[in-house]
Chains A and B, each alone.
Chain A
Amino acid sequence: MTTLTIDGQKVQVEQGATILQAALKAKIHIPTLCYLSEVQAIGACRVCLVEVEGNRALQAACVFPATEGIVVITNNERVRKARKFSVEMLISNHPMDCLTCARNLNCELQKIAEELGVREVRFPGEKSKGGIDELSPSIRRDQGKCILCRRCVTVCQNIQTVTALFAQGRGFETKVGPAYDESINDIACTNCGQCSLVCPVGAITEKSSIDDVWDALSDPSKFVVVQDAPAVRAALGEEFGYPPGTLVTGKMLAAVRKLGFDRVFDTNFTADLTIIEEGNELIKRIKEGGTLPLITSCSPGWIKFIEHFYPDLLPHLSTCKSPQQMLGALAKTYYAEKEGINPKDMVVVSVMPCTAKKFECDRPEMTDSGYKDVDYVLTTRELARMIKQAGIEFNKLEDGEYDAPMGEYTGAATLFGATGGVMEAALRTAYEVLTGKTLENLDFIGVRGLKGIKEAIVPVEGVGDVKVAVAHGLGNARKLMERLKEGTADYHFIEVMACPGGCVGGGGQPIPVNYEIRQLRAEALYQEDRDMPRRKSHENPAVTRLYEEFLKTPLGEKSHHLLHTKYKARGV
């Protein structure tokens, strides 16, 4: 332990802690901007400056080690002026179009300028040239707004191991982006959107589809269907002041109905369906000696990652489309037929915790219904914006409900939103299908939680030990793929989610996201699972009916045509 003094208060911290961590422990607030807990501490922005006795210059608290006996002052004239000066310098090169910015009222630069009392722009000098990259269907980058904090670079390189973004050039000319100023649409970017979650300003956001969705809703000739992924209901409330981890399913359903959607379906319905299809695929591969381990295919960021970086391993991927795409394909075939709606007039909108889903729905192969299976994807953040635009008082809404038949779901499906959830749902079903016995304890605790790579062995009578692994965050996925290449990953089944924490921490979720918030959102989903009357995908009666009326059999001809897909190798 190390003892130091901050503002006259003695603080004891672990060896290796920083002044910032020590101050946090002593409940002394030091403002920060480029620093982001769990992501980076690089002392770049000079906002967390403090005075350390004996040091001539002010020091960045986020990187300065809390050494024995040092005396730190966090609040005096010199410190306040220096912090304010740092922010004024950042602002001098900022477009200041706050009123029309996607991050208006949720911007860290705005917040820090307010906190430090910046009331004038003292340095109206030259501004960086900037440039907007909006070629990607998922991510929009506005370089003029970038404050060069490097959070996106760090998250992309260290956590996702993609390194699609890097600081290019030096000094005033520095820009963050790919080599040769290319669009992220043209390089090995997975569209995971983690950069948009950590961006303190409006420099990286999702590419918005709000206008397209309003247009569809305003068009009387269109039958507009919406589906929402499980992680959305566990996070949307945060946009309306609810604490993280509040499940707002009922209010969300009431809100989307007020927005004017004709039918409200649940991606959970096709999550249950995915378990049936993917579960059968797994059983088939085990019994017939197919490529193992089987790897999940729900996460479009992960799919693009493996297509870019591990094309040799593509045969391991499940051929199942993601639940979003399955629902779109079924809405425009099964449901359209059933209701006598011309699929040409149907518009399917998804609300997803995800930016990569926007790219996924644009994939040319995702048209098996004869139309674009999913027309538009909104992130959780975009849905919240639409609800606000419509003047809906979210907090006062009476709970709404899903429409039949594709609104019915089990607890297993809702788990898809948290890392390990697909695995847990699959194990519940695979166990019962393989053994013909009822599973007593439904909770597979070993695959839950935020450990980077989780492993479990499930003894299944008649099959032996089923070995599974779960990775979340693409850096962890990469570790597993390297082991697979070396031949040291002898699992039957692997679940991969591109985002840390799984979809609850997805790139389209409310900002901020951190370790604690991911945990709280996941806990909300586990709670919903516990409260559900049915908790196993194969017990979803609407899915059973779908097979009877339409698909006939898992992995059958119709399934093959509508619910399964192919992947392609992409260069790096």
Chain B
Amino acid sequence: MSDTDTNHECVCAQLSEEELYPRLELIIEEHRNKPHELIMALHKAQNLFGYLPRKVQQMVAEGLKVSLNEIYGVITFYSFFSTVPKGRHSVKVCLGTACYVRGGQQTLEKVGKELGAKVGDTTEDRRYSLDVVRCIGACGLAPAMLVDDDVYGRVKSTKIMEILDQYK
């Protein structure tokens, strides 16, 4: 494996989108004409670009022999995939059953208000993206939220700004 595809880390901040396409070609090559590997390929492509713009979907469609209509269906089904650019930090508020009954919805509203963003949106400065997740397995800490890979439990409305401020 070449260094570009051993680790599909998001490099979108360093390189322009145009410069990423040759790397996408390498990913597509690994899965060429294998429609059943669609989700894997999309996963890698999203790690590369930070999101899945239409052009990326079209290239994956052509390479894997999957209809763009199916790809878009898969992307819009799984909340992990995004068709809009993501912020540097992902904020995910859990609305699984336990979190929901312990005030997850209020947490979400507060986070949304603080960031000025709706679910699925990215802030204008591309610092944060806001999403909802359904259970992250931290029910004992409900209500919980994730910022990047960090889990925050028993989130209180008053603490939210403090948490978010740590992520520049």
Seen from chain A, the residues whose Cβ lies within 8 Å of a Cβ on chain B are: 157, 162-170, 177-180, 187-188, 572
Are B67's CB and A164's CB within 8 A? yes
What are 29 contact pairs spanning A and B, CB under 8 A?
A157-B67, A157-B70, A163-B66, A163-B69, A163-B70, A165-B69, A166-B67, A166-B69, A166-B72, A167-B77, A168-B72, A168-B73, A168-B76, A168-B77, A169-B76, A169-B77, A170-B76, A170-B77, A170-B79, A178-B72, A179-B68, A179-B71, A179-B73, A180-B54, A187-B69, A572-B61, A572-B62, A572-B67, A572-B68
Tally of A-B Cβ pairs under 8 angstroms? 45
Which residues in B have their C-beta under 8 angstroms from that of A168? Answer: 72-73, 76-77
In the complex, how many angstroms separate the beta carbon of B51 from the nearest chain A beta carbon?
14
Q: Say yes or no: is B46 at the interface (Cβ < 8 Å to chain A).
A: no
* Cα–Cα, bound, A350→B57 (Å): 40
Are A179's CB and B69's CB within 8 A? yes
Nearest neighbor of A163 in chain B, beta-carbon distance:
B67
* Cα–Cα, bound, A351→B91 (Å): 58
Contact A179:B57 (CB < 8 A) given known A163-B69, A169-B76: yes
Known: A166-B73, A167-B73, A168-B72. 4 other contacts (CB 8 A): A168-B77, A169-B76, A170-B76, A179-B57
Which residues in A have their C-beta under 8 angstroms from that of B67? Answer: 157, 162-164, 166, 188, 572
Interface centre among B66, B67, B69, B73 (most CB of A within 10 A): B69
* Cα–Cα, bound, A528→B61 (Å): 46
* Cα–Cα, bound, A188→B69 (Å): 10
Q: Give the residue of A166, A180, A187, A572 whose beta carbon is less than 8 angstroms from that of B70.
A: A166
Name B35-83 residues within 8 Å CB distance of A: 54, 57, 61-62, 66-73, 76-77, 79
Which residues in A have their C-beta under 8 angstroms from that of B66? Answer: 163
* Cα–Cα, bound, A169→B66 (Å): 18
Nearest neighbor of B74 in chain A, beta-carbon distance:
A166
* Cα–Cα, bound, A164→B69 (Å): 6
Which residues in B have their C-beta under 8 angstroms from that of A187? Answer: 68-69
* Cα–Cα, bound, A170→B79 (Å): 9
* Cα–Cα, bound, A157→B77 (Å): 18
In the complex, how many angstroms separate the beta carbon of B97 from the nearest chain A beta carbon?
16
Which residues in A have their C-beta under 8 angstroms from that of B62? Answer: 572
Are B77's CB and A180's CB within 8 A? no
Which residues in B have their C-beta under 8 angstroms from that of A178? Answer: 68-69, 72
In the complex, how many angstroms separate the beta carbon of A507 from the nearest chain B beta carbon?
18
Which residues in B have their C-beta under 8 angstroms from that of A572? Answer: 61-62, 67-68
Nearest neighbor of A161 in chain B, beta-carbon distance:
B67
Which residues in A have their C-beta under 8 angstroms from that of B54? Answer: 180
* Cα–Cα, bound, A178→B79 (Å): 19
Which residues in A have their C-beta under 8 angstroms from that of B68? Answer: 178-179, 187, 572
Are B73's CB and A180's CB within 8 A? no
Which residues in B have their C-beta under 8 angstroms from that of A166? Answer: 67, 69-70, 72-73
* Cα–Cα, bound, A157→B73 (Å): 13
* Cα–Cα, bound, A164→B57 (Å): 15
In the complex, how many angstroms separate the beta carbon of B128 from the nearest chain A beta carbon?
23
Which residues in A have their C-beta under 8 angstroms from that of B70? Answer: 157, 163, 166
Across chains A and B, which 10 residue pairs bring their CB atoms closest together, nearest first? A179-B72, A163-B67, A166-B73, A166-B69, A169-B76, A178-B69, A179-B69, A166-B70, A170-B77, A179-B68
Which residues in A have their C-beta under 8 angstroms from that of B79? Answer: 170
In the complex, how many angstroms separate the beta carbon of A542 from the nearest chain B beta carbon?
45
* Cα–Cα, bound, A163→B71 (Å): 10
* Cα–Cα, bound, A179→B61 (Å): 12
Nearest neighbor of B61 in chain A, beta-carbon distance:
A572
Nearest neighbor of B79 in chain A, beta-carbon distance:
A170
Which residues in B have their C-beta under 8 angstroms from that of A162? Answer: 67
Interface centre among B54, B62, B67, B77 (most CB of A within 10 A): B67
* Cα–Cα, bound, A90→B71 (Å): 27
